Amino acid sequence: MITTLTATTTERIVSALVEEEGVSGGSHVLTLIIDTNTAGLEDALAAAHGASRDHPCRIIAVVRPDTENDDVNDAATGPRSRDGHVPSDLPGHLDAEIRVGHDAGAGETLVLRPWGEAAEHVDTLVVPLLLPDVPVVTWWPTAPPDRPSTDPLGKLASTRITNTPALSDPVMALKALAPSFTRGDIDLAWTRITLWRAMVASTLDPVLRDGTARGIVVAGEPGNASIALMIRWLALRTGVAIEQIDVPGFSGIASITVSTLTGDIVIARMDQERATITRPGGEAPQVVTMPRREPITTMNEELRRLTPDLVFEEVLASFAAECCTSHAPDRTGS
């Protein structure tokens, strides 16, 4: 069920919540704030609702005004009102939706649409709606702020999730976020490679212990942020040279090949659900289960963790240092 409130207040939203059955928050384990735009709202809610089945939560989605269409909105319905029920001389207001039942996952969902001046201080709209005594997570499913930890909605959270794979240039977006990393930040580009890292660690452990690894080649999608993080993680863990090969038209990691003294070890994606491991010696490749990670799966993992990922912190620090070195000005005079 969806209840729509036009030109409302947080007090009215809280009152409406109290009137709904099963929204007391007693069984909720967290509050999830989603900072998004209209285009990204429903996809983000679908992922959040799916993850909430395992992590019951109150979801508060803040939908930013469509600045590209401000003139159209002003001319048609007054100051950015969706339905025209707001006086044209009002400098700003808040529209909201309360979604419960099958429209809200395992909890309730609040969709806030601030317009005009109401959009200038969205944190003050969210604070009265936070559940007491449970963690707060803020997620940017589309464009993140320059520094998530100092963003008004980011300040409310102990965990801040960004999603560079959803952007037009994921690697550049990751580079932009890396220098401002604060403990508690995480990006879904890292979460996407959890299974790959586990597979690589278990497969390569023998050759890394005996020192027979000579080089690694990572092949896959050009401009993929997860591949960029995988390369930095491999460099830190193995200490051998890493080469990247682009595979146009492929999505994600296609294969990881490790050169050893006795031949190559190859971990390659077979299809959406499986991968193969080929070892030296001519034996048939081993087929293992490794499903591609969907948005619900990655959100599920991060909502389960809710603690700083120290390995990601180490990898991103190395990534940031590499970026700074590669962009440092030439001071040699050459």
Global confidence as pTM: 0.88
112 inside domain? yes
Q: How many distinct structural domains can be found in the chain?
A: 2
Lowest mean pLDDT among 14-23, 85-94, 249-258, 296-305: 85-94
Note down the domain range covering 228. 190-289
Check residue 105 and give its pLDDT: 78
**Rounded distance between C-alpha atoms, residue 92 and residue 229, angstroms:** 42
On whether both 42 and 104 belong to a single domain, the answer is yes
Main-chain phi, psi angles of 35, to 5 degrees: -105, 110
On whether both 41 and 154 belong to a single domain, the answer is yes
239 inside domain? yes
Lowest mean pLDDT among 158-162, 187-191, 325-329: 325-329
On whether both 65 and 108 belong to a single domain, the answer is yes
Check residue 35 and give its pLDDT: 97
Question: Which two structure tokens, joined as six digits, stand for 253?
Answer: 């990691």
On whether both 156 and 196 belong to a single domain, the answer is no
On whether both 17 and 134 belong to a single domain, the answer is yes
| Mean pLDDT along residues 279-306 | 91
DSSP string, 250-319: --SEEEEEEEETTEEEEEEE-SSSEEEEE-TTSPPPEEEE-PPPPHHHHHHHHHHH-S--HHHHHHHHHH
On whether both 250 and 203 belong to a single domain, the answer is yes
| Mean pLDDT along residues 135-159 | 96
Confidence of residue 93 (pLDDT cuts 50, 70, 90): confident
